[in-house]
Amino acid sequence: MTLKNYLWVMSVLTIVCWGIFAFVVNMVDPFSTNWLGYLLFYASLAASLIGTISIFGFLLRYSFAKEKAIFNLVKISFRQSFILSLFIISFLILKSFDLFSWINLILLIILFTFLEISMSLKKKIKK
């Protein structure tokens, strides 16, 4: 797959995910829904965030990268977009259950930082 095709497919799928998220937000009543409504909300938001952050992260890396190893830039941006969107969803879930505090936020930041560092080191060790 070429870079142009990748960006086109990711952009279209991200727009579709944002459309699905908008549909879920308009159709699901948060005060009377069950666990399925919340699952649809968080899953559609996560998919939308992964796509958006991945595209922007790749474009940022591609514009500032000294080496143009496109496949590595795509992998890194997708991995980090997944981790960042998981962080955002975790934060929102804590907030929805009234469990948010600054200590929990700091613990989340530490947890996801260690997750990213361990995934980065794991990749370097394999080389």
List, for residues 10-35, the tens digit of each pLDDT value. 999 999 999 999 999 999 988 898 99
> What CA–CA distance (Å, rounded) separates 123 from 82?
16
Confidence of residue 1 (pLDDT cuts 50, 70, 90): confident
- Cβ atoms within 10 Å of 14's Cβ, excluding its own: 19
Domain boundaries, the chain: 3-126
Biggest distance spanned by C-alpha atoms of the chain: 52
CA torsion sign, 18 to 56 to 59 to 67? negative
Confidence of residue 126 (pLDDT cuts 50, 70, 90): low
Could you read off the pLDDT of 43-97 as tens digits, one per residue?
A: 999 999 999 999 999 999 988 887 778 888 899 999 999 999 999 999 999 999 9
Confidence of residue 127 (pLDDT cuts 50, 70, 90): low
The average pLDDT across 86-112 equals: 94
Q: Are 10 and 52 in contact (CB under 8 A)?
A: no
For Cα atoms 21, 5, 65, give the angle at the middle one, nearest 5 degrees. Answer: 95
Between the alpha carbon of residue 8 and those of residues 14, 22, 48, the distances in Å are 10, 21, 15
* All residues at 6 or more sequence positions from 76 whose CB lies less than 8 Å from its CB, including other chains: 57, 61
- The structure's pTM equals 0.88
